[in-house]
Structure 1
């Protein structure tokens, strides 16, 4: 077993790990209970598509929200946003047991919760480099993602059973409590806030004046880099993934002969595959990135075709193994950005990447909802699997992407290196 890195024992990193642990404990239940409750209230896969559209749309708007994180202390931002999110979730059982819950109110709460996550995500990405240091970002990301996916695997599988036993509404109360505890945990952060640029006016009027400049700054910063090409890749991946995941509640009911717990098993299988990719990603950082992505995504396409066509057990296994490539791509790319981008720009650049990449998700949700409702949820998994194979062909046809060296040598800003 390898030696534990010094940053892992650092107080702030342990607090972050604890927050992630508690958050993942509740998020597994949230994923299953939220989507099943939408399906239960509406009785239509189309509404599942609308719900996924609502939860992914804030990701497209993330680049508008990320600069706001620079105008307040990171610790305060994390605490307040998680506290508000917990209060929103508490309203679901309150309304359900009083006046009655409407599917559109539920979708609105899912939208607002996702919107708050767009504020916390760039902060977490930024403080990770402050806490662990730029030289340790690959390992730090691997630690956090391993924890996230381990928790997902353990609790998402059981979450389906929990939802079946106590109901979706009561299960969402558990998520609310977990997120409230995350907010309390983050009050113990003691990391030093990076100094703001000397020319930044901290007043409200100055903030309004500075915001458009900060917003534009993220676009200018990545100009001439290879990040836009990566963004196109992420758009395609997200589009295909959401076509499938939108239909997973209905797809799992088909595979499991109406057993609601099977939905949890499929999400647990997805988490296990992502966990496996997370664990091995640091070991793959010396392999040519371009060739690795071409091979792994073609393999994912073939495996997910088997997910659609084979019985439950082999379907679960292939769904899991097909997800390995997703985390490899995400961890190596995000780690490369965190290592090469200036600290003050990390939140904006990563959020800009994820915001544009997320454009494919709400579109995929609506497309998936229409296909699943008009034909069959099984068809959407076939569409997603074939799309992954086409994606690998896209990388193969691009000389820039095909020839990318290992992630340690990939230069995201070749024009600056030439200057």
Structure 2
């Protein structure tokens, strides 16, 4: 996004770029079911290798025939779509490896490692961009995806059902439709659809803010590009702290925990919008803690309560529905940032967090949700019914 901002000089183009990136999440329900037709190992190796090959074309074209901003935007959309293919595979593998009884701790540890490395590498990338430029930094990203694909070669994953070796196109499409429908049916009569409206709203607000972060960081840092990396690192630090706290505070009621934490986030991000750089980064970091907490608890609850054969499909449908607000928020955020200043969208996102908390507070069902281990997200199915349902699919 910083590269697009530099090439176009427009916050609006950054908003359009983020629209493409988040549109991929909204389209996940069309892509992710195809992950059922490959082996876990093959799917992960192939997706990482393909992302590496695509990203390396950015520095290649930049140093040869020239780089077009629209090419960068479309390429990032394709890379994001590939990530939607590998995401359900990663989600399915975790409970298989650690067991469902350990999934909250495992997700917390993984999120801590992921965000901890992001703090170091993203902050370092902010400095690296100043020294060598964003195009060269993207080359490093392409190399990392290549190394990731090579690393997966050494893994062996237990797979409950191997994909069919050969299928006709018609049979493949029919099976795909059945898998997609299975994920939707599995969520019927559950609590998740009742939460989706609120999640769409909060994602819309995040979409308004995030594409403005490169320009926002330049304003706060008086043109210093490194500050963008520091803001991203502070976001990762906050999420990491939230991931560390999640197993320790999961005994509190999920409803009130969500209400209180996101209301604090709202006030903190409003402060981050108007304060100078150092306190702004601090407030931005603390405000992100709630995101880490709620993400871990909600994600772990789904992994605990859904049969492994359905985890990928349920998460795909849920993610697609929840993500629909973010692409449109990014377009609105681009227009707001272009028309006024990048500070305004960040402030508006803080207000939206408070509105989100108030909406949960006014809803009796959401407000009184018990601790996450006692929240029944999906209807209970006895073992025989689950086996019969899975065979029919």
Q: Which category of TM-score, normalised to the shorter sequence, fits these structures?
A: over 0.9
Residue in structure 1 matching 2:329, options 351, 364, 384: 364
CA shift at 1:279, angstroms? 0.5
CA shift at 1:204, angstroms? 3.0
Residue in 2 that maps onto 1:204 = 168
Residue in 1 that maps onto 2:19 = 53
Structure-to-structure mapping, 1:16-415, within 5 angstroms: 35-195=1-161, 203-205=167-169, 206-414=171-379
Unaligned regions of 5+ residues in structure 1, if any?
A: 1-34
Contact kept in structure 1, 2:40 and 2:157, CA below 8 Å: no
Residue in 2 that maps onto 1:12 = none
Contact kept in structure 2, 1:142 and 1:279, CA below 8 Å: yes
TM-score (norm 1): 0.89
SS at match of 2:372: coil
Contact kept in structure 2, 1:225 and 1:415, CA below 8 Å: no
Contact kept in structure 1, 2:208 and 2:332, CA below 8 Å: yes
Contact kept in structure 2, 1:71 and 1:202, CA below 8 Å: no
Q: Tell me the matched-pair count.
A: 382
Cα displacement string for residues 90-139 of structure 1 (whole angstroms, at most 9, x for unaligned residues): 10111111110000000011111100000011000001111111111111
- In structure 1, what is the Cα distance between the partners aligned to 2:93 and 2:379? 26
Contact kept in structure 1, 2:263 and 2:357, CA below 8 Å: yes
CA shift at 1:298, angstroms? 0.5
Contact kept in structure 1, 2:266 and 2:350, CA below 8 Å: yes
CA shift at 1:230, angstroms? 2.8
TM-score (norm 2): 0.95
SS at match of 1:408: helix
Where do 4+ consecutive residues of structure 1 move more than 6 Å? none
CA shift at 1:293, angstroms? 0.4
CA 201–171 in structure 1, closer or farther in 2 if over 3 Å, else same: closer
- In structure 1, what is the Cα distance between the partners aligned to 2:348 and 2:381? 40
Contact kept in structure 1, 2:39 and 2:162, CA below 8 Å: no
Unaligned regions of 5+ residues in structure 2, if any?
A: 386-393
SS at match of 1:246: helix
Contact kept in structure 2, 1:294 and 1:396, CA below 8 Å: yes
Residue in 1 that maps onto 2:390 = none
RMSD: 1.5
CA shift at 1:353, angstroms? 1.1
